Amino acid sequence: MRILITGGAGFLGSHLCTSLVSQGHDVICMDNFLTGRPENIAGLMGHDRFRFIKYNVCDYLHVDGSLDAVLHFASPASPRDYLEYPIATLKVGALGTHKALGLAKAKRARFLLASTSEVYGDPLVNPQPESYWGNVNPISPRGVYDEAKRFAEAMTMAYHRYHRLDTRIARIFNTYGPRMRIRDGRVVSNFIVQALRGEPLTVYGDGSQTRSFCYVDDLIEGIVRLLLAPSTEPSVDQGTDTVPYLRHNWTIHHPVNLGNPREVTVLEIATMILQLTGSSSGIKHDDLPVDDPKVRRPDIQRAQALLHWSPTTSLEQGLSLTIDYFREQLKASHSSPSH
């Protein structure tokens, strides 16, 4: 396949580029480096199945030649990023999605949207199934990200229904692993960097809020399976309670949760990281951010049934790999000329 990945130099996008190139696909990576990084794709530069285009997907979008798939991953994704770039976040969710869908339509390509568990907001249902409509404050500071993705989902489904475009929507839950940035503002990277530096780990509120963390390799496997899944879904007994979505006439074109259903509190993840790093850092508490979700856990029955996918990396194993990565990153930053 010949595949375009917008936001391809970001955390998830770059892992997707690496995975798809290794599987023999031709990959075009598009990124404007607002939050993506050149070093994430440095190992792919010069590869005969990889091409990079520095470009803002919100502008007029054109790619020479045929395309088999367009994967729209361009967007600030961490709280620190989308609070710093609120308008850019809204624009890439709206204009960027429109441009990417238009390109997929023109090329008769399959389209996959990277959506997010944030469409569920501060959920009143736990775990969150794809059929849950969410509890989102559209005018809160984090609403710029939530609503950008909700609009992107609506636009994607409109193109599917009106233009009969072959579309997929991945609702991605908290993901962690190598290539996260030192200062990206996500809880796992924050805690690991603070622990390795001997600084107190900043826990917002009392730490009882829950999250579900998926290691990046597992998440990428789920995305690739969703991308390659046939439009005609496998036959599943519609009378069973194990796949209730099929009774709602949901198809592969509707959203699919991708994440790890193991739910832990923020305080538990902080304690685990302190143990794994061997750090003597303490824990300090700060005020909860506005509209911070109290719970977050994916219902992945749909992914299990339709994609035969479940995460396999344990939290302890994934955290250890991520800690090793950040150790090297911090060592490299201290040995750089700027230090």
At residue 228, the pLDDT reads 97
CATH for the stretch 2-176+214-260+298-312:
3.40.50.720
Specify the pairing of strand 69-72 against strand 201-204.
Answer: unpaired
Q: How far apart are the first and last CA of the chain?
A: 44
Query: What whole-number distance in Å separates Cα of residue 104 and Cα of residue 110?
Result: 7
Tell me what pLDDT residue 290 has: 81
Strands 110-116 and 167-172: parallel
Strands (E), the chain: 2-6, 26-31, 50-54, 69-72, 110-116, 167-172, 175-176, 201-204, 210-212, 214-215, 255-258, 263-265, 283-286
Task: Report pLDDT for 336.
Answer: 60
- For the chain, list residues with pLDDT below 70: 233-249, 335-339
The C-alpha atoms of residue 182 and residue 319 are separated, in whole angstroms, by 15
Q: For residue 250, what pLDDT is reported? A: 77
**145 catalytic residue (yes or no):** yes
**Which of 303, 309, 301, 304 is closest to 241 using CA atoms?**
301
**What is the predicted pLDDT for the residue at 291?**
78
Amino acid (1-letter code) at residue 42? A
Distance CA 261, CA 319 (A): 16
pLDDT of residue 289: 81
Crossing angle of the two packed helices 266-277 and 187-196, in degrees rounded to 10: 40
pLDDT of residue 337: 58
Give residue for tokens 């739910």: 263
The residue annotated as part of the active site, out of 145, 159, 176, 245, is 145
pLDDT at residue 248, as a whole number? 55
Asked whether 119 and 134 are in contact (CB, 8 A), the reply is: yes
- The single-letter code of the amino acid at 202 is T
Q: Give residue 245's pLDDT.
A: 46
Number of Cβ within a 10 Å radius of residue 45 = 11
Instruction: Supply the pTM of this predicted model.
Output: 0.93
Q: Facing residues of 203 across strands? A: 285
Determine the number of helices (DSSP H) and then strands (DSSP E) in the chain. 10, 13
**What's residue 240's pLDDT?**
42
- Of 9, 11, 50, the residue nearest 33 (C-alpha): 9
Residues contacting 72, CB < 8 A, separation 6+: 6, 7, 57, 96, 97, 100, 101, 111, 112, 113, 114, 152
